[in-house]
Amino acid sequence: MTEIIILGTFHFNSMPEYIFSQKVQQELDVFTDKIKEIKPTKIAVEIPKIFQNELDSFYADFMLADIEKNFILGTVEFWGHQFSFKSVNEVVQVAFRSGRKLGLEKIYAVDYPTELSDELEEKIKSEYSDYEKDLSMIRKMNGSSEDIISKYRIHNSEEYIFVDNGMFSKMNKVNLGNYEGTQYVLQWYDRNLRIFSNLQNICKDGDRVLLLIGSSHLKILKDLVNGDPDMILIENKNWL
């Protein structure tokens, strides 16, 4: 049996000034001490599996002493473009930091780069009357706390998961003659099913795996874990 802890996150890359403030760095240190206390034997992250070698290299070169600095760890090539992998990233600030504290030799990449259709999304939004209201509700919850641990509690709360996942359910309703909403949601489920397959394939009996992933994935991935007889979902309410 493998124990799975899924930690929903927000993405750090758009807020370097906030992330590298002394206050938030101290909070992240406390937060990752909490992760250390739950003793995961593996940490999986929202990086495409095809970049496992690059992730291994970045993690091997990463020094905990550099955690409070805004720097580029390296680059990856994706869809014909070069992308910088920066320290203002939850993978570095939470997963790498926790991994070093736990003495883990490896961080596991389990994402799959399914690209959601912008064209379908635009068609859906025109028929989804509550889109802006629901998006506004999510943004309001996102901005309701400055404290990093409180932000994580919000992103992992039942209310947040319900509203976030509900947007996909409402999108599925949109049918302009060719099930456009369903086509879009299928792309989302396709990505999550592939993420779950990647997660299943790093798990061994007796592992305790922490998956750090965007909170929009929580509902589907929790359901998938609960449906796998070789896994047991460990809720994070007791430590988060």
Q: According to the model, what pLDDT value does residue 217 have?
A: 97
Write down the pLDDT at residue 114. 87
Q: What is the pLDDT of residue 129?
A: 85
β partners of residue 2: 231
Q: pLDDT per position in the chain (240 positions), as tens?
A: 999 999 999 999 989 999 999 999 999 999 999 999 999 999 999 999 999 999 999 999 998 988 999 999 988 877 667 889 999 999 999 999 999 999 999 999 999 988 899 999 999 988 898 888 988 898 888 877 889 999 999 999 999 999 999 999 999 999 999 999 999 999 999 999 999 999 999 999 999 999 999 999 999 999 999 999 999 999 988 889
pLDDT score of 144: 78
Give the pLDDT confidence score for residue 142 in this predicted structure: 82
| Integer CA distances (angstroms), 141 to 8, 11, 145, 156, in order | 14, 15, 8, 11
3-class secondary-structure state, position 206: coil
Provide the 3-class DSSP secondary structure of residue 213. strand
pLDDT for 191 equals 97
What burial letters (b/e) apply to 83-118, b meaning 16+ CB within 10 Å?
eebbbbbbbbbbbbbbbbebebeebbbbbbebeeee
Q: What is the pLDDT of residue 79?
A: 65
